[in-house]
Amino acid sequence: MQSSLLCFLFITFVSFVSCSITLFELSVKVTNAISENVANVNEFTKVTDTDNSKQKLLLLLKLDGIAVEIDEIIGQIQRIDKDKDLNIISRLLKKLAMNNKWHSTLKDIRMIQTYLNDYYKEMKKYIRDADEYNSTVLVDFADKVASGSKNSVPSLLNLLFEKVLGKDFLENLLKYLKPNGICYCQEKQSTAEILHTFMNEIQTTSIKSFVSIYAAYMIKHIYSDKGNFTKAMLNASDNFQRRTNNLISTLKTHMATASLEVRRCDLLPNHIYGETYLEIKNFLHGIIINKVNLDPNGSCKKECNAYSYTKHYNCGSNEWCRKEAMCSKVIGCQYVDSSMEVCPSKMHKTSRRYEYVKLGNGRVLGKEKPCDTDITSLETYRNWVFWKCSYCFCLCDEGRKFYTQNHINMRPVESNIHRNMVVTGLRFIEHNHIIHLQIQEGKLLPNGQIDLNSVQWLAPEDYDITQRNYVNGKDYHTLSWEKRSLQLVDIMAKQGNIVTGVGFVLDKFRNHLRLQVFTRPFNFTTGEVTKTSKAVVEASYEVGPQLKLDAVDIPTNAIFPSNQFETNKFVKFTNSDFEKDAGQSTVPFLDALPVESANPVPLSGVGIFHKGRLGFGGFIAPRIFTYNFTNHLESVFF
């Protein structure tokens, strides 16, 4: 089989396959091979039955050769997730617990598909081992296949296409599979990719059935004396071409509206730090400080809420203050109660100051649980007889300590374009307490294909913030109370370009981190990425409104999956709710799940969005947009 040759012979239609041959190219190939056979058939018409039994067998073996080739190519094309059920329709049926008209149509489609594929299998058996059967058996089978009866292949095939291309069927498929549609999370593919896979499966069945019909006529022609069946064969070929063209034009129509988005769905309830999510740590913490330590003059004259933006001054003789790590930026203090019991956290240097705080009035800040450190009781005391020195509950911007994890990488990352690599996936990772948006790269091949063996995650740059040649504000950004905004935006490459990198820059006017996407022109036919000039930088300079996260709990406490998705806004990293979490965490968290297509594809865009539920801080997550193949779908037969 010359599949490598085939790879370069037909470049009309693109699919997500390793070799460039696609089902629609295969369709052309099959039709050509078969019309060659039709020509040969006619040479046999004059020869008498007994003389050419060997030649008859040879003819059938040629058909078998075509079938073997078809099977091999189809095997290559359907390589998505080998461990999974290959058939997308049966996967959908298994996962969809529905009972409606659409679902029953899907079931019918699957059933017809199974019948047709079985006919094909049986046909292969007869043509391969034709010498083991007498002509009666062969012709009987051929009659069953090609007769006009309800269960014959042509009738079933017509019915299949009627259902697939019929009113509403594909609209519903797209509806259920669109992002936020009920089936979207089952497949790690964009709606456009799934649609394409579905159509490929239908076309696979169509090719196989065409071969079955054709082989049936061939058998009838050489083993019966009922004529040469040339007309019927050509008719079958015409029908096949017409169906293929219809399928492509329908595909094209729907592909234009199908979403390209691939994002990950929540893996409830298995939140695992570092694996499924990340956090900004030691950035903002609820902190308890006595008024006396907040006042430059060491006085208790003012109320807590007078201290909206100050710092820890001299601890004096306040024992509590001396035990606490000093805070250089104290924000938004408020009075909570005259007495409280504090359970300091063991993870003081890694994530929180307190596990919980129980107030004298019974209210608990955070979640009360057995305290494995010493509980400290704090009480308002009197200073100068009449000033009450109460403990305030404030927010601490921990600043830049060696144990903080509030840095975001700003060094741009680009795929290795010298090896023709492009971006195929994204995820947030943490390295040396710095959050990186990591890229997955894969080698671009002709026709928008990615070399599966080349796909890899690019290691983040290995540096930490103590290294002098890496500068805050240039190489990375350390979040601070004043500069803690992140833009939530989708950025698309312009047509003819492909995503090769990502990065963040700090917008100095708005004090927010802006997503940048690097793209490069490429030649679709050759798969060559333009290497010479610098990458094109795409970004959005528009600022949407702020996504408000007020008094929210940490997202990992949510027991239901995210149902709110936000983009075209900006979000400020902020503290978790005082009541729910003693303000000890920074929200939103970051989703750490890798975002990649089940079948790696080049990207037409990249986004950062927020997902969550009311009352919870949610996650910031990346998403990708698969390459838009719409413009490369062409009719293969004219």
Query: Is residue 280 a contact partner of residue 405, using CB atoms and an 8 Å limit?
Result: yes
Q: Which is nearer to ligand NAG, 154 or 286 (CB)?
A: 154
Q: Is residue 231 part of the contact set for ligand NAG (CB under 6 A)?
A: yes
Closest CB to ligand NAG among 154 and 612?
154
For residue 449, give the amino acid letter. Answer: Q
Tokens of 360: 């004298």
Rg over CA atoms, the chain = 33
- Residue placing its CB nearer to ligand NAG in the complex, 361 or 525: 525
Within 349-405, residue ranges assigned H as helices are none
> For the chain, how many residues are written?
638
Contact call for residue 338 and ligand NAG (CB under 6 A):
no
Establish if 378 lies at the interface with ligand NAG (CB under 6 A).
Answer: no
| Candidate list 194, 202, 207, 232; residue touching ligand NAG; CB under 6 A | 232
Joined together, the tokens standing for residue 137 give 């058996």
DSSP state of 132: G
- The shares of helix, strand and coil residues in the chain, as percent rounded to the nearest 5, are 35, 25, 40
Q: Which of 136, 180, 328, 373 forms a contact with ligand NAG (CB under 6 A)?
A: 136
What are the φ and ψ backbone dihedral angles of 298, each rounded to 5 degrees? 65, 35
Q: Which of 4, 328, 361, 526 binds ligand NAG (CB under 6 A)?
A: 526
Among residues 454, 447, 449, 599, the alpha carbon closest in space to that of 9 is found at 447
Pairing of strands 595-596, 421-431: antiparallel
Cβ nearer to ligand NAG, comparing 378 with 499: 499
Residue 42 touches ligand NAG, criterion: CB under 6 A: yes
Q: Which is nearer to ligand NAG, 105 or 230 (CB)?
A: 230
For ligand NAG, the closer CB: 100 or 525: 525
In angstroms, the Cα distances linking 38 to 59, 119, 215, 216, 237 are 10, 21, 11, 13, 11
Residue with tokens 């308002």: 380
377 near ligand NAG, rule: CB under 6 A: no
x/- track of binding to ligand NAG for residues 473-512 (CB under 6 A): ----------------------------------------
Burial degree of 431 (CB within 10 A; 0-12, 13-18, 19+): middle
Among 45, 308, 350, 564, binds ligand NAG (CB under 6 A): 45
Q: At CA 427, angle to CA 423 and CA 432, rounded to 5?
A: 115
Structure tokens at 413: 């990352």
Total residues contacting ligand NAG by CB under 6 A comes to 23
DSSP three-state, residue 611: strand
Applying CB under 6 A, does 227 fall inside the site for ligand NAG?
Answer: yes
| Stretch in the footprint of ligand NAG (CB under 6 A) among 345-353, 458-466, 582-590, 623-631 | 623-631
Rounded Cα distance between 633 and 226, Å, is 41
523 binding ligand NAG? (CB under 6 A): yes
Q: How far is the CB of 76 from ligand NAG (least distance, A)?
A: 24
Lookup result for tokens 């046999």: 44
> Which of 27/574 has CB closer to ligand NAG?
27
The one among 24, 29, 154, 439 contacting ligand NAG by CB under 6 A: 154
- Stretches 214-222, 421-429, 518-526, 592-600: which one binds ligand NAG (CB under 6 A)? 518-526
d(CA 290, CA 606): 47
Helix axes 191-223, 153-165, angle to 10 degrees: 160
Q: How far is CA 286 from CA 10, 349, 356, 358, 575, in A?
A: 65, 14, 10, 14, 8
Among 58, 137, 347, 375, binds ligand NAG (CB under 6 A): 137
Question: Which CB atom, from 41 or from 410, has the smaller least distance to ligand NAG?
Answer: 41
Task: For residue 148, give every residue at least 6 positions away whose Cβ sits within 8 Å of its Cβ, in sequence order, or none.
Answer: 154, 155
Residues within window 250-289 making contact with ligand NAG, judged by CB under 6 A: 256, 260
134 touches ligand NAG (CB under 6 A): yes
Q: Which helix (H) or strand (E) holds 90?
A: helix 88-95
Q: How far is the CB of 148 from ligand NAG (least distance, A)?
A: 7
Residue 607, interface with ligand NAG (CB under 6 A)? Answer: no
Cβ distance to ligand NAG smaller for residue 35 or 467: 35
Nearest to 500 by CA among 407, 417, 402: 417
- At closest approach, how far in Å is the CB of 136 from ligand NAG? 5
Name which of 373 and 525 has its Cβ closer to ligand NAG. Answer: 525
How far apart are alpha carbons 594 and 212 in whole angstroms? Answer: 43
Contact 589, 611 (CB under 8 A): no
Alpha carbon distance 449, 25 (integer Å): 15
525 belongs to the binding site for ligand NAG (CB under 6 A):
yes
Closer to ligand NAG by CB, 294 or 554: give it: 294
Number of neighbours of residue 638 by Cβ within 10 angstroms:
6
Q: Please report how close the Cβ of residue 551 comes to ligand NAG at its closest, in angstroms.
A: 29
Cβ atoms of 586 and 470 closer than 8 Å: no
Tell me the window of 227-235, 329-337, 375-383, 402-410 that interacts with ligand NAG (CB under 6 A).
227-235
Q: Which of 467, 358, 458 is nearest to 402 (CA)?
A: 467
For ligand NAG, the closer CB: 377 or 631: 631
CB 536 → ligand NAG: shortest distance, Å? Answer: 16
Task: Return the number of the residue (295 or 398) whose C-beta is nearest ligand NAG.
Answer: 295
226 near ligand NAG (CB under 6 A) = no
Stretch that binds ligand NAG, among 50-58, 393-401, 430-438, 627-635 (CB under 6 A): 627-635
Query: Token digits for 638?
Result: 């004219």
Our CB check for ligand NAG shows the closer of 158 and 432 to be: 158
- Write out the DSSP string of 457-469: EPPPP---TTSTT
Q: How far is the CB of 364 from ligand NAG (least distance, A)?
A: 33
Binding to ligand NAG in span 288-317, by CB under 6 A: 296-297
Point out which residues bind ligand NAG (CB under 6 A): 42, 45, 134, 136-137, 154, 227-228, 230-232, 235, 239, 256, 260, 296-297, 523, 525-526, 628, 630-631
